[in-house]
Amino acid sequence: MSRSGSKAQVPLWSTTPMTSSTNLQSYLAASASQVGALMSAPNLSEIISASVEDVVAALLAGKPVLTCGNGGSASDALHVSGELVGRFFRDRHALNVICLNSNVTVMTAWANDIDFTSVFSRQVEAHGRGGGVLWGFSTSGNSKNVVNAFTKATTLGMRTIAMTGSNPGLLGELANHVISVPGDDAPSAQNLHVLLYHYMCAEIERIATVRVP
All structural domains of the chain with their residue ranges: 43-211
Q: What is the pTM (predicted TM-score) of this model?
A: 0.90
Q: Which class does domain 43-211 fall in?
A: alpha beta
Note the pLDDT of residue 24: 87
Q: pLDDT of 112-143, one tens digit each?
A: 999 999 999 999 999 999 999 999 999 999 99
Q: For all residues of the chain together, what is the average pLDDT?
A: 91
Phi-psi region of 90 (alpha: psi -120 to 50; beta: other; left: phi over 0): beta
Residue 6 pLDDT: 47
Euclidean distance between CA atoms 140 and 86, whole angstroms: 29
Q: What is the mean pLDDT of residues 107-113?
A: 97
